[in-house]
Amino acid sequence: MMAENRRLSLLSSHLTSRLPPIVHDSSLDDFRKRGKTLDKDFLLKNYLGTAYEAVMIARRHMTNNPLFNLLDETDFTRAELRERVVQQLADIYFKFNLSYERDAVEPLARSDTLCAVGEYDLQLPTRLIIHLLLYIDSIQNLGTQKHVEYARRAFQLVDYGSFSMTELGHGSNVASLETTATYDKNTREFVFNSPTFTSAKWMVGAIGKTANMTVCFAQLIVDDVKRGVHVFLIPIRDYNTHEPLPGLVLGDCGKKNGLEGVDNGFAYFKNYRAPYDCLLDKYASITPDGKYKSAIKNKEKRLAVMLAGLIKGRASVVCSCEEYMRNNLTIALRYAAIRKQFGLSEGSEVALLDYQLHRYRLLPHLAKMFAVRTGYLFLCENYVRIKSKVEEDPECLELAEHHAILSALKALASWYGMACTQECRESAGGSGYSYYSGLARNRNSQDVHITWEGDSSVLIQQAGRFILKSMQKMMKGQRVNVESLKFLKGDVGAVEYKVKFETAQELENEGVLDELLEFYINAILHRTMMKLQENATDAKDMVDAWNKTQAFGIQDLGKAFGEYIMTRELLKFVKVIENHSSVTGAQIRNIFYLYVIGVVEKNLTVFVEGGMSPAQAKTVRDAILQLCNQVAEESINIIDALAPIDNVLGSTLGHSDGQAYTRTLQKAEATPFVYDKAPWFPLVQKAREIGKKRL
C-alpha cells in the first residue's frame, strides 16, 4: 500500500469516527501525585552525562516533527522504511555539527550523537554506528595520513561508509575469514576475491543499497604467503551512478527480525582490484619492492589491533540497550498506573502498579536500567582517560582492562535489555500484543544487540578470561595493578562467607553490600578455577578444558564481573545525586539497593552454598519486596524525568498524557481498511458451500 493512500485512509477514518465519546482518564496523573519531590532536571543531566546537549538538540528537533513519529511508521513497507530512515538521517544529522576537527578535541561527540538519535529507534543509530563509528574509527585507528580525507568526507556524509567484516560462514572467528586480498606486485594493487560460497560478506549494514565505501576485512596474501586478516578501505559503488563497481556483486540480504529500515546486504568479490593505498597501513605495510612489514609480529595481537574500530561501536550497544530499557519501562510503568483490574468492590479496581507482583516484575528492571546507564557513563569516561595511551601503545594494560569491562557490560546490557523488554511486554497483558504498544517493535530491534558487535556469549568469556589470566599472574607472584580487579585475593583457597546482617535495614548498607559482592565474585572465581583445574586433567588440551568450563564457570564469572563494575558505578552516581538533593538522592539510593540486592537474590545459591543462612536469604527476599514497594511510589516520576518525548516513544500505552485507552481506540480506527468488508469473503462463502453439503 502506498504511503499516499494510507494517509488518505487515515484521514477519512478520523473524520468519521464510529466510536463512543472519549472520557478523560486521570489515573496516571493521580499516580504522579503520590511521589515525593524529584529534581528531574538534575537527574536527567547527570543520567545523560556528556550526551545531555546532543539529546536536547534531538528532542527539540523531533518534537512534533512529523518525520519522527514511530506510530506513523507501523504500516510502512520495507522500501518505505528505508527511505524514511535516510530522510531522517539527512534531516537531523547536520544539527549535531560533527566534523573531523571537532572530533579530535571532543572524542565523545559522535557517541553522544548516537545516544541522542537512539532515543527514537535503533534504525537511525544503526546507520550511524556503522558509518560514524565502525567505518570512521577503522580509518582513524588503522589508516595513515593519506586516509584522513576519507574520514573528513565521512564526517560530512560526502561518502557513506560500511563495515565489511562478517561473512556468511564466519562471524565470531574473525581470524578465519575467507575473503582474500592478494597483492599484485606488477601493478601495486590488491586483488579481492570471495573464494568459496561461504565467503560472501554477509549482513553488512548499508552495503545492500546505500553505501559507496566500505572497510573490508580480508586475508592479505603477499607472494603466496598468508599474512592474516588486514583491513582495506575501498569504494564499492560508482560515486555518480551508484552502480556496483566491476568485480563486485552487491545485494540485499532481505527481511530481518527488525531494523527493516537498514539495508543489510552481501558483497561477493570476483577479481575486484584496488590500488595499494587502500590498505589501512598504520600497523602493516608492503614496501614498494614488495616486502610485507608489520610493527606487531604476533598475528593474534595484530588481529586484536585491527578490531580496535569496534570499541566505540560496542559501547554504543550498551547505550542503546539502556535506551530500550528506558523506552519499554516508560510504556510498561505508565500503563501499569493506568490499567486497573480486580479490586475489593465494583468500580474501585486496583492499578497493576499497586500489586506487589507487578512491582516485583518491573522495578528490578528499572534498577538494572540505572546500572547499565552508569556502566555506560563509565565506559565513556574511561575511554577518554585512556585514549592517548592506547594510541601510543595498542597493547597496553589499560586497553585490556577496558576491553574486559566493555565485553562484560555489552553482554550483560544485551541480556538485561532483552529480559526487560520481554517482561514489559508480558506485564502489559493482551494490550502488549498490539503492535501499537511499541513493545514488540522494540523487542525485534533490541534483539540484535545480543549477537552483533561481538556475540554476547563470546564476549562474556573474554571478561572471564581477563580475570583468570590476572589471577594466574598473581599466583605466580606478579603484581596486578588493575583498579577493577581489586577484589582479587591472589590465592585459590576457598572463599569464606562472613557477612553479617539480620534485618533488611542492616542489609541496606554500602559496607555490607560491598562485602557481599566481593564474596560473590570471589566465590565464582574460586569455583571456576577449581573446575578448570579438574577439566585440565581429563580434557584433550587447554582449549578443550577452557570450553568445558564455560557453563557454571567462566560465563558466570564474566557476568559477576560486569555486575561488580556496574554496582561500583551506580553507587558513584547515587552520591552525586545525594550531594545535590537528599530527597532525590534517597530515591536513587533505593534503586541502587534494589539493583545490588537483586544481584544477590538472583545468585542466592552461590551465597547459601558459601554459608549464608536461610534467615539471611529470607531477609534478602523481603528487602527486595520492600524496596519494590518504595520505588514503585516514585517510579512514575522517575521514568517521567528520563523518558523520551511522546512522538519518539511511539506507544499508545505509554504516552505521557495517560490516555492509553483513547489512544488505543484512535490508533485502531486509523488502521487502513478498519471498517472495510473482508476482500476474502468469497473464500469464506466457498468453504460454506462445501460444508453445507456435509450438514
- What residues between 95 and 114 interact with its own copies by CB under 8 A? 99
Whose cell is 505508565? That residue is: 334
- What residues between 510 and 569 interact with its own copies by CB under 8 A? 541, 543, 547-548, 550-552, 555
Minimum distance, C-beta of residue 73 to its own copies, in the bound complex (Å): 11
**Residue of the chain from 26, 37, 156, 533 that contacts its own copies (CB under 8 A):** 156
| 227 vs 667 by CB, closer to its own copies | 667
Closest CA to 119 of 617, 604, 647, 472: 647
Rule CB under 8 A: is residue 677 a binding residue for its own copies? yes
**Residue of the chain from 296, 512, 536, 668 that contacts its own copies (CB under 8 A):** 668
CA distances from 611 to 97, 513, 606 (A): 57, 16, 9
**Is the distance from CB of 52 to CB of 45 less than 8 angstroms?**
yes
650 annotated as ligand-binding: no
3-state class (DSSP) for residue 209: coil
| 30 vs 578 by CB, closer to its own copies | 30
Concatenated DSSP letters of 159-219: S---EE--BSS-SS-GGG---EEEEETTTTEEEEE--STT-SEEEEETTTTT-SEEEEEEE
- The one catalytic residue in 322, 453, 563, 569 is 453
| 127 vs 282 by CB, closer to its own copies | 127
Q: Judging by beta carbons within 10 Å of its beta carbon (0-12, 13-18, 19+), is residue 419 exposed, middle or buried?
A: middle
**Is the distance from CB of 310 to CB of 133 less than 8 angstroms?**
no
* Residues 446, 447, 452: CA angle, nearest 5 degrees: 100
Q: How far apart are CA 180 and CA 515, in angstroms?
A: 52
**What is the grid cell recorded at 346?**
465494583
**Residue of the chain from 480, 482, 586, 665 that contacts its own copies (CB under 8 A):** 665
Q: How far apart are CA 609 and CA 493, in angstroms?
A: 15
Q: How far apart are CA 150 and CA 137, in angstroms?
A: 11
**Residue of the chain from 31, 266, 324, 592 that contacts its own copies (CB under 8 A):** 266
Concatenated DSSP letters of 56-115: HHHHHHHTT-TTS-GGGGTT--HHHHHHHHHHHHHHHGGGG---HHHHHH-TTHHHHHHH
Note if 4 is an active site residue: no
Q: Which amino acid would we find at residue 203? A: M
Q: Which amino acid would we find at residue 201? A: K
Minimum distance, C-beta of residue 635 to its own copies, in the bound complex (Å): 16
**Is the distance from CB of 612 to CB of 293 less than 8 angstroms?**
no
Minimum distance, C-beta of residue 433 to its own copies, in the bound complex (Å): 5
Rule CB under 8 A: is residue 492 a binding residue for its own copies? no
Rule CB under 8 A: is residue 633 a binding residue for its own copies? no
**Is the distance from CB of 639 to CB of 598 less than 8 angstroms?**
no
CA distances from 545 to 277, 494, 538, 552, 656 (A): 43, 21, 8, 13, 53
**Residue of the chain from 83, 277, 398, 510 that contacts its own copies (CB under 8 A):** 83
Phi, psi of 421 (to 5 degrees): -55, -45
Minimum distance, C-beta of residue 224 to its own copies, in the bound complex (Å): 16
Rule CB under 8 A: is residue 303 a binding residue for its own copies? no
Q: How far apart are CA 196 and CA 208, in angstroms?
A: 20
| 385 vs 433 by CB, closer to its own copies | 433
**Residue of the chain from 451, 581, 630, 656 that contacts its own copies (CB under 8 A):** 451
Whose cell is 584433550? That residue is: 540
- The footprint of its own copies on this chain (CB under 8 A) covers a number of residues equal to 136
**Residue of the chain from 31, 47, 68, 93 that contacts its own copies (CB under 8 A):** 93
Q: How many CB atoms lie within 10 A of CB 160?
A: 20
| Nearest 10 degrees: Cα torsion 433, 437, 441, 442 | -110
Q: Which stretch binds its own copies (CB under 8 A): 315-323, 392-400, 591-599, 685-693?
A: 685-693
- Here's the x/- map for its own copies, 336-375, by CB under 8 A: it reads as -----xx-x-x--x-----xxx--xx--------------
- What residues between 234 and 253 interact with its own copies by CB under 8 A? 242-243, 249-253
Rule CB under 8 A: is residue 614 a binding residue for its own copies? yes
Q: Which stretch binds its own copies (CB under 8 A): 291-299, 378-386, 391-399, 670-678?
A: 670-678
| 47 vs 415 by CB, closer to its own copies | 415
Rule CB under 8 A: is residue 255 a binding residue for its own copies? yes
Rule CB under 8 A: is residue 75 a binding residue for its own copies? yes
Rule CB under 8 A: is residue 302 a binding residue for its own copies? no
Minimum distance, C-beta of residue 395 to its own copies, in the bound complex (Å): 22
- What residues between 14 and 73 interact with its own copies by CB under 8 A? 18-23
Phi, psi of 239 (to 5 degrees): -60, -35
**Is the distance from CB of 84 to CB of 15 less than 8 angstroms?**
no
Rule CB under 8 A: is residue 678 a binding residue for its own copies? yes
Q: How far apart are CA 147 and CA 279, in angstroms?
A: 9
Rule CB under 8 A: is residue 619 a binding residue for its own copies? no
- What residues between 172 and 201 interact with its own copies by CB under 8 A? 172-173, 176, 194, 196-198, 200
**Residue of the chain from 103, 281, 322, 447 that contacts its own copies (CB under 8 A):** 447
Q: Which stretch binds its own copies (CB under 8 A): 86-94, 390-398, 462-470, 509-517?
A: 86-94
| 101 vs 393 by CB, closer to its own copies | 101
**What is the grid cell recorded at 668?**
485502531
**Residue of the chain from 5, 26, 87, 503 that contacts its own copies (CB under 8 A):** 87
Rule CB under 8 A: is residue 433 a binding residue for its own copies? yes
205 annotated as ligand-binding: yes
Return the DSSP state at 54: H
Residue ranges of the annotated binding site for FAD are 166, 205
Residues recognised as catalytic: 453
Residue ranges of the annotated binding site are 166, 205
